[in-house]
Structure 1
């Protein structure tokens, strides 16, 4: 599930011979994964220890930083309570809404290729979605407004509970879009203010598919995963399992499954990622997230003018919790004690992740914990404090 920067943390290598879109450069494969010199850092370790210390419910946590070629980390607790596997930053996990920056990158590549314009409207691109009884019958909504969450469209996540049957149920994209469009808009005039909505990114998914005649997974693999060598990153819509060594996610499911053993820390790893789709279904690792954002911010995925718009065509994130202060085209701007950072947070049921990066992509942090509730238990204060402190420590 994907509620970000809010006190409501709700959750419900391919061949490099592929042609690259304009503005894409192939990354060196020498630094895949953690670097050979990656080492445990005492300050980061102390922060990770605080996240899992009792009485916190977090089974495990890590903070992974990359400054130039230097990798450091702190990791504490367990990645799998049933086996006792320790938490580590090289394990795969569900990223939640960090996925949105990946999706937005594909959309902006199509803008760079002049196959799509930011001012194109959803109504003109997806006319079959417009009905007199749904939210697209109002004022036109542009691609830009989908990307920066100013469309006003209802967030389908908020309407999922009545349709819930099991953690592993498959959610067709059209059904999720239908839930999002069936309810009135949060505000009638698009572009007037920020209101985070996952429905926006499912519509962007449909637009990408319509323009390229390929699904989003294929576009991500050809345009992002393969060029950057993200061999531990996947978009597994129909699979409830996570391949390879991975983190198990835990959640408080007492509202959904009150008779489950240990319902406050129930293993929800087998959640169907179809529930999130283009807004949050990605599985990856800390190193792959860092590699993606560094490539993006250093101009290896988008041409300079389009990247500048991604980062500066921003709106204030009214109602979002600090340190988020603005939202661009698929990317947050964070105000930290050491200056502005760029990235995204991701909330999936059982998983909570944040990625912060300097504007030049040189200083980076990926923080993760494998507990995220279904019930409204408020902000995970220790985790939030840890990732903000960890980023500024890594940035010097």
Structure 2
């Protein structure tokens, strides 16, 4: 459940990563394949996998048998890159960590569109008495501030390490024993989205999982995606997941994250979800503009999404997710027509330069 890390001021090129000139000038599919392999070598992940879809007609598509196989499985425009390493496969279920936040934000914005809540509502209006103490005051915090990480609330996972299962109210009570950061300043906190999960339950009478299943998973037929609650095992098929020390952490109680990072999903489902969301299938144009508005967070974050401006000038939108044994990243063009998801089966990538280079290889035009 990481703090989103932007690339706005980081010029990235494949050459900086030590790739040969031939690779850096290759067809995008070739360059991206090389980078997926680097996730397991320089990135020190046991295994990595990536799935991209581009319906613009201008992105990377492999040739020959790989292209034919990808189209037969996922439809025209789908690029399936080779997995690197062993232990995971394309169809595996995995934990998506903070990518859960995009689903939660979508449900909140749908409820706002239905006039069942307002983004200017205070936390106190929906959860009276819960946020109070050590300088924290739910009367001064709006739902907008939770969505954009500008509430100043302390991140409860700084206390649990993301490894101790807690209930939503326990998570909040842990957080409010610490004074808040400056309100109005962007400060990423998992506590914000745990509170939004409680707001969904208060407004609808259903859990955030039930509402997300009804509003998102079922309409989009995301059959590989679930909110496991307290279930510690992954659905089949799945590979193994490893902590940075090499220990097997495949079985995990998702209550370590709750509404901030509980989701289990697949590469295919994440590509489909972000494409549908940015393509306007889940929110009207008005509410999608709200979601993409980063002014409240001073350019760092919208609502469950954040932008990254690549060296070529293209801006992609999406989220990353880190939970014990899994790191995931999805990025897409603002229209949702070109989307990429990659994952590794460990908690982090050893070389942080690989992620921006991979995004540039996929979304920036090939240079000769």
Q: TM-score range by the shorter chain?
A: 0.7 to 0.9
Aligned counterpart, 1:356: 331
> 1:382 aligned to 2:354?
yes
Change (3 A) 1:139 1:121: closer
Query: Cα RMSD (Å) of the superposition?
Result: 2.4
Q: Which runs of 5+ in 1 are unaligned?
A: 7-39, 81-86, 253-263, 318-324
Distance in 1 (alpha carbons) for counterparts of 2:322 and 2:83? 20
Q: TM-score, normalising length from structure 2? A: 0.82
Which segments of 5 or more consecutive residues in structure 2 lack a partner in the other structure? Answer: 7-27, 56-75
For the pair 1:47 / 2:48, whether they are aligned, the reply is no
The answer for the alignment partner of 1:93 in structure 2 is 94
Of 385-394 and 280-289, more deviation after overlay is shown by 385-394
> Does 1:230 pair with 2:222?
yes
Q: Is the 8 A contact 1:154 1:181 kept in 2?
A: yes
Pick closer, same or farther for the CA change 1:247–1:79 going to 2, 3 Å. farther
Aligned-partner Cα distance in 2 for 1:351–1:248: 10
Query: How does 1:311-350 map onto structure 2 within 5 Å?
Result: 311-316=292-297, 326-338=300-312, 339-350=314-325
Aligned residues: 325
> Helix, strand or coil: the match of 1:267?
coil
Structure 1 equivalent of residue 187 of structure 2: 195
- Are the counterparts in 1 of residues 149 and 297 from structure 2 also a CA contact under 8 Å? no
1:142 aligns with 2:142: yes
Report the Cα offset of residue 42 of structure 1.
Answer: 3.3
Aligned pairs for 1:146-185 (under 5 A) are 146-161=146-161, 170-185=165-180
Between the aligned partners of 1:393 and 1:354, the Cα distance in structure 2 is 20
Stretches of 4+ aligned residues off by more than 4 angstroms: none
Alpha-carbon shift at residue 56 of structure 1 (Å): 4.3
Partner Cα distance (1:42, 1:146) in 2: 40
Q: Deviation at 1:195? A: 0.4
Displacement, 1:215?
0.4
In structure 2, distance between residues paired with 1:218 and 1:110: 14
**Equivalences for 1:1-396 in 2 at 5 Å?**
1-5=1-5, 41-53=29-41, 56-68=43-55, 69-80=76-87, 87-131=88-132, 133-137=133-137, 140-161=140-161, 170-187=165-182, 190-191=183-184, 193-252=185-244, 264-316=245-297, 326-338=300-312, 339-372=314-347, 380-392=352-364
